[in-house]
């Protein structure tokens, strides 16, 4: 699954069984070495004592092996009826069968030992909404053996992405409706009474009675189609391989499909009619990605087809889902709309396709045993997508993006409310909360570090061995480490345990260095990087480090173990630690060593410039070095530096702007300095694309216009408004697709009532779901409090499609967090109707998270106390930690930044 927050383009802005032996070993090792200083509950997950029980909601006395599902949806009535015949094995005598069911009406249930055998009707069907289960009781206990369990039932079709849901969209002929499913993490039970846990793999044979003129799509190809009464048809799909319930998919609508072939697999893209050309890039890209993955895994993709299905609308939780054989993505994550798509959108679409396709092996072919190991799916897919994008599109230079991805994970991981990569998941709410920066970005960064440590070939050989050994089954993290270690001949498991079974971030301290006889000596000491626990006793990690002297051709490999390492590096000069930026740790230098490295900034590779800039800023904000060090680097950066470096500088200026939101004097000083630095870069890049420019330059242009616009640069605001007015007057060249989003963003941010209404009218009239969603989100980006209030009221008015309203409120929260939060709380029933159930525990913390006020902290806690179970509060706790850290930065760091900015004006 691709989370919405990490899949957006750069400027979108918008039961009980004993724990398996491998997991018990992990827990025991973690308990023996990881002893966090009084962290919150979330940070202690996988470090609990060994011997605890694996979480499951269901008894283990019955196991399914096959589902035959007959589905009849009624899209207009938002209901469906169905029958499921499930082949089960009763493993010990029982009078009851318990399985998952949520928001279903079970009309009847019966069981038989096979065709022609006596049928026993369930004497009682008991639904438990809290446990999301149905218990079927039979008058005569069932002996051990194999049975056919038949259930007739009905359910609801929702309008948010959970279970079977509908999406409405505009066409020239009026509104139309399409159906899709979203089952991860635990929503298959909304459409099929089932054993809805990853370890209960089974085969699925799905058939659906649907309108004759519509297309039905599922995991497997259509096996047969026959006409039935009432202008309908019965579509039967081929039987799937054994898989987890959350990977089942069904889609229905006025669709069209294009295909290609790669390695014997039929690749397809499916869209609502009229949008198929916008999917061509993903179809073409999928061929190259599948070819690469077939080779990399040495296990050819095993299904006969692989579709990418584009759905209008959006989710607050995810952007794409890896259903086996039928990846579903929201249109904004997959399609390239010629009216608004940018280079960043193109790269994002490719990366998402690569991410979801990687899941066809890591997640689908081999599935984590339980949600504790979700990172096996998401961390690996994150890493694999980054690797593949960089490999197949070197001109995009996306390998540099790993610095930002790792930094995002570290900043989350350095809070007391963090958790281990392999984490304790005990409830459905905790499973949904597990889709976060730690699972995705930290997981991917750790894989990158370990691959760098053992070597590409050894890592690939270990992955191939792991996939082959566990194909069509379930696995835990230690089973991956065993295969990697066997292939590499290095102690991977011990290092992996350090980084996955305990939370937090190592901090490598670099001593002053000395040089004799062409060798530089330096000492590395391991501590811990924490943003909100200054007196925390450091945990211990074995840290793979690459270090070099500036100018040296090769870096030296060091394993910092036991907390300290003395290193001798070839050459004389400033020491650079984490050369190449593959390590998951922060690096802090002595003032003397940092000054020497900063003076050599221009001699560093671009990836190391990004690393040093990022580290300097983060460490400055955390009080580990001067917060003005990164600003000094920005001041010295030449105009012709790499676009990615200037992009990082622009993001830093934007962060300072947010910190200084309530300090007019600091904002003025920042704007003066930042505009003086960025405006010449924009002048060099230009507003209009050049035929020979690089992809990073195109992305930098958007970043610069956005940042200068938010900083109040008069030249940018005037030019943006000029282009907007010219486009309204019919000059299509004034607002090319590459600039449309960012220019409209600058205009919307500074809009008066007349311009706001122009944008509102454009949103209502727009038929492209992607552009419509963008335009509605723009209405919430206004600085004007009165217009922000109008945007909030519009969000719950019923005018925007059901999946858009929540995004408008989120847009308002970017500049008016308190207003947006208070409004959403006052309209809680309406807002809950705009957000899928899996997202609600994160949605309100997301609205509040831009604030730094103690009052907002109290409001968020009060909301959680009143509305969320204890198991669903991890996002609230994280948001509170971030707000409190932001308040600390404003109080303790911003005065020094303000003073530094003041000196620049002298």
CA–CA distance, 678 with 635 (Å, rounded to integer): 10
CA–CA distance, 220 with 83 (Å, rounded to integer): 19
- Residue 600: helix, strand or coil by DSSP? coil
Which runs of E-coded beta strand occur in 530-563? 543-549, 556-560
Question: What is the full DSSP assignment across 867-897?
Answer: H--GGG-HHHHHHHHHHHHHHHHHHHTHHHH
CA–CA distance, 445 with 411 (Å, rounded to integer): 13
Whether the Cβ atoms of residue 621 and residue 889 lie closer than 8 Å to each other: yes
Match 């690749």 to its residue by tokens.
267
- Residue 755: helix, strand or coil by DSSP? helix
DSSP 8-class letter at 84: E
Compute φ and ψ for 118, nearest 5 degrees: -55, 140
∠724-728-734 over CA atoms, to 5°? 50
- Residue 860: helix, strand or coil by DSSP? helix
Length of the chain: 906
901 closest CA partner among 709, 632, 617, 681: 632
- Residue 551: helix, strand or coil by DSSP? coil
Q: Residues 570, 574, 575, 579: what is their CA dihedral angle, to the nearest 10 degrees?
A: -90
Is 92 among the catalytic positions? Answer: no
Three-class DSSP labels, 186-210: CCHHHCCCECCCCCCCEEEEEEEEE
Of 292, 356, 485, 702, the catalytic one is 356
Whether the Cβ atoms of residue 325 and residue 306 lie closer than 8 Å to each other: yes
CA–CA distance, 781 with 12 (Å, rounded to integer): 12
CA–CA distance, 56 with 644 (Å, rounded to integer): 45
Whether the Cβ atoms of residue 301 and residue 294 lie closer than 8 Å to each other: yes
CA–CA distance, 81 with 584 (Å, rounded to integer): 50
Q: Is the peptide bond before 361 cis (omega within 30 degrees of 0)?
A: no
Q: Is 511 exposed, middle or buried (0-12, 13-18, 19+ CB in 10 A)?
A: middle
Does an H or E element contain 96, and which?
A: strand 94-100
Question: What is the full DSSP assignment across 448-516?
Answer: HHHHHHH-HHHHHHHHHHHHHHHTTEEE-HHHHHHHHHHHH-S-HHHHHHHHHSS-SEEEEEE---EEE
Where in the sequence numbering do the catalytic residues fall?
A: 356
């Amino acid at each position: 699954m691709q989370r919405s927050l990490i899949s957006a383009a750069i400027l979108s802005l918008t039961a009980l069984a004993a724990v398996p032996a491998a997991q018990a070993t992990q827990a025991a090792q973690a308990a023996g070495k990881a002893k966090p200083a009084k962290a919150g509950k979330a940070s202690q997950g996988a470090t609990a004592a060994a011997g605890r029980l694996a979480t499951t909601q269901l008894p283990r006395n019955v196991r399914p092996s096959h589902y035959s599902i007959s589905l009849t949806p009624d899209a207009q009535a938002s209901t469906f009826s169905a029958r499921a015949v499930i082949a089960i094995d009763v493993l010990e005598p029982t009078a009851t069968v318990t399985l998952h069911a949520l928001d279903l009406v079970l009309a009847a249930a019966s069981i038989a030992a096979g065709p022609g055998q006596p049928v026993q009707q369930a004497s009682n069907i008991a639904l438990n909404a809290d446990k999301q289960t149905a218990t079927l009781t039979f008058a005569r206990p069932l002996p051990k053996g194999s049975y056919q369990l038949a259930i007739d039932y009905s359910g609801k079709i929702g309008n948010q992405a959970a279970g079977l849901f509908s999406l409405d969209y505009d066409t020239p002929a009026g509104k139309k409706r399409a159906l899709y499913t979203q089952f991860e993490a635990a929503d298959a039970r909304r459409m099929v009474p089932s054993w809805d846990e990853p370890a209960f793999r089974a085969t699925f044979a799905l058939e659906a009675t649907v309108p004759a003129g519509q297309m039905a799509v599922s995991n497997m190809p259509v096996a047969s189609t026959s006409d039935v009464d009432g202008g309908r048809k019965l579509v039967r799909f081929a039987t799937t391989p054994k898989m987890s319930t959350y990977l089942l998919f069904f889609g229905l609508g006025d669709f069209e499909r294009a295909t290609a072939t790669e390695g014997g697999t039929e690749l397809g893209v499916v869209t609502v009619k009229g949008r198929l050309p916008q999917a061509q890039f993903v179809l073409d890209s999928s061929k190259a990605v599948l070819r690469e993955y077939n080779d990399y895994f040495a296990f050819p993709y095993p299904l006969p087809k692989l579709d990418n299905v584009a759905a209008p609308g959006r989710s607050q939780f995810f952007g794409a889902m890896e259903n086996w054989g039928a990846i579903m993505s929201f249109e904004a994550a997959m399609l390239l709309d010629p009216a608004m798509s940018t280079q960043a959108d193109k790269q994002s679409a490719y990366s998402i396709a690569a991410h979801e396709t990687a899941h066809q092996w890591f997640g689908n072919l081999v599935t984590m045993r339980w949600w504790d190991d979700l990172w096996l799916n998401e961390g690996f897919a994150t890493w694999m997508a980054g690797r593949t994008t960089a490999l197949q599109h070197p001109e995009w230079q996306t390998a540099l993006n790993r610095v930002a991805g790792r930094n995002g994970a570290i900043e989350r991981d350095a809070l007391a409310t963090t958790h281990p990569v392999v984490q304790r998941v005990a409830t459905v709410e905790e499973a949904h909360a597990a889709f976060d920066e730690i699972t995705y970005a930290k997981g991917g960064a750790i894989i990158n570090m370990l691959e760098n440590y053992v070597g590409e070939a050894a890592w690939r050989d270990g992955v191939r061995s792991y996939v082959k050994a566990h194909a069509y089954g379930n696995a835990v993290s230690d089973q991956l480490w065993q295969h990697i270690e066997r292939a590499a001949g290095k102690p991977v498991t011990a290092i992996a345990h350090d980084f996955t079974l305990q939370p937090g971030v190592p901090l490598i301290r670099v001593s002053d260095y000395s040089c004799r006889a062409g060798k530089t000596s330096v000492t590395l000491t391991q501590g811990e990087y924490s943003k909100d626990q200054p007196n925390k006793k450091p945990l211990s990690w074995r840290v793979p480090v690459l270090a070099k002297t500036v100018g040296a051709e090769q870096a030296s490999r060091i394993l910092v173990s036991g907390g300290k390492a003395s290193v001798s590096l070839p050459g004389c000069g400033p020491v650079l630690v984490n050369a190449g930026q593959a390590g998951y740790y922060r690096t802090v230098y002595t003032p003397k060593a940092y000054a020497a490295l900063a003076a050599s900034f221009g001699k560093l590779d671009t990836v190391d410039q990004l690393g040093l800039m990022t580290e300097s800023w983060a460490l400055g904000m955390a009080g580990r070095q001067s917060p003005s060090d990164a600003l000094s680097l920005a001041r010295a950066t030449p105009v012709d530096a790499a676009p990615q470096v200037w992009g990082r500088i622009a993001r830093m200026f934007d962060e300072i702007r947010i910190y200084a939101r309530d300090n007019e004097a600091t904002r003025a000083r920042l704007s003066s300095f930042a505009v003086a630095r960025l405006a010449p870069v924009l002048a060099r890049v230009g507003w209009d694309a050049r035929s020979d420019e690089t992809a990073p330059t195109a992305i930098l242009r958007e970043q610069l216009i956005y940042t200068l616009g938010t900083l109040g640069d008069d030249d940018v605001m005037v030019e943006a408004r000029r282009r907007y007015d010219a486009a309204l007057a019919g000059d299509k060249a004034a607002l090319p697709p590459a600039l449309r989003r960012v220019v409209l963003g600058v205009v919307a941010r500074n809009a008066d009532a007349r311009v706001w209404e122009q944008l509102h009218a454009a949103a209502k009239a727009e038929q492209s779901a992607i552009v419509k969603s963008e335009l509605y989100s723009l209405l919430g980006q206004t600085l004007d409090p009165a217009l922000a209030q109008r945007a909030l009221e519009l969000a719950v008015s019923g005018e925007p499609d059901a999946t858009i309203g929540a995004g408008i409120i989120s847009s308002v929260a970017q500049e008016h967090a308190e207003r947006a939060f208070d409004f959403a709380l006052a309209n809680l029933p309406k807002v809950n109707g705009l957000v899928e159930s899996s997202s609600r525990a994160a949605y309100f913390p997301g609205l509040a998270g831009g604030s730094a006020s103690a009052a907002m902290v109290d409001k968020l806690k009060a909301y959680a106390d009143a509305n969320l179970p204890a198991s669903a509060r991890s996002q609230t706790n994280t948001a509170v930690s971030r707000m409190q850290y932001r308040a600390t930065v404003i109080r303790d760091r911003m005065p020094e930044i303000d003073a530094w900015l003041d000196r620049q004006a002298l």
